[in-house]
Amino acid sequence: MNVTRRFLGAALALTIGVSGALPAVAQSATQGLSSESVIETIKERGVIKIGLSLFVPWSMRDLDGELIGYELDVGRKLAEDMGVEVEFIPTSWDGIIPALVSGNFDAIISGMSVTATRNLTVNFTDPYAFSGLAVYSNIEMTQGMSRDDFNSSDIIFAARRGATPATVIAKQFPEAQILLFDEDGAAAQEVLNGNAHATMAAQPTPNREVANYPETLHIPFEALYDPRGEAFAIRKGDPDALNYFNNWIAQQWRSGWLEERHNYWFATEDWADQVAQ
C-alpha cells in the first residue's frame, strides 16, 4: 500500500511539473515566432521593402519618373502607420514571388489576386482591393465576333507572362493562341498594332484603353472574368505579420481610406495628366 501511495505521489508530482512547464514552453515558442517576424525586421531596419510590378493604375511612373498609383498610396500609408520609411522595388511579374521568398523584400503589394497555386508558395492577407477581368480587342480584327468566336485557333491573345489574365485566357479560351510578354504594356501594344486580336486585364484598364484609342479598341462583350480580391503576399510561417497586415487592412476599410483611394485611381481620370499618354 505504501509503495502504491509513493508511486501515485510521484506520478502526481510529475504531472504537476509537466503541466506547470507547458505554459513556459508555449510562451517561449510564441516569443520565438514573434522575434522572427518580418515585422520586427522592419521595425529594426526602419524601412519596409515592398515588391511590385508596374501596371496602370496600380503602379506606374509619372512624367518625372517617380512612382505613383494605388499601390504607392497603400505602401506609403502602411509605412507611415508603422512609423518607418518605405522602399519600393520594381520587379518583373514572373519573378516577383521567387524574389519575395528569397528575401528581396518584405511583402508584395502589387494587385496580386489570391489563387490556390500561389497560396502553396506564399501566404495572403485579407483583400485590400477587388476587381474583375475584361477582354478588350482590336475593332478591325474582331468586329461582330461573339464570345464563342474568340475560342478559336485563329484567334491570338496577348498577355503578361505569369499574370492571372494569361491563366484565365487559357481556361476560358482554350483553343486560342497566347503570346506572352513581360509587361502589360507590351501585350496591349500587340493588340493596338494588329499583331494580336485581343488581350485581357483587370478593370478599369480595359475601359481606359478603349477610351484612349476608341478608333482601334473596343470591349467586344461585357462579361467579367475571375472576380476576386487582391491581397498582400508575404512569406509563409509568419503569423505576426499576417495578423498585423490584416488588422491594418481592416482598419483602412472601416475608415473608408482604401475605398477613397481605390475610387480615385480606378473610377476617375484625375491623375491622368501626371503620366505619359
pLDDT tens string 202-225:
888 898 899 889 999 999 998 889
**One fold for 39-131+228-274 and 132-226:** yes
129-135 mean pLDDT:
90
Residue 26 has pLDDT above 70, yes or no: no
pLDDT tens string 172-191:
999 999 999 988 889 999 99
CATH class of 132-226: alpha beta
Tell me the whole-structure pTM to 2 decimals: 0.69
pLDDT tens string 41-71:
999 999 999 999 998 889 999 999 999 999 9
DSSP string, 193-258: TTSSSEEEEETTHHHHHHHH-TTTEE-S----EEEEEEEEEE-SS-HHHHHHHHHHHHHHHHHTHH
Q: What is the mean pLDDT of the chain?
A: 89
Pick among 3.30.470.20, 3.40.190.10, 3.30.428.10, 3.90.1150.10: CATH of 39-131+228-274:
3.40.190.10
Residue 273 has pLDDT above 70, yes or no: yes
Domain range summary for the chain, segments of one domain joined by +? 39-131+228-274, 132-226
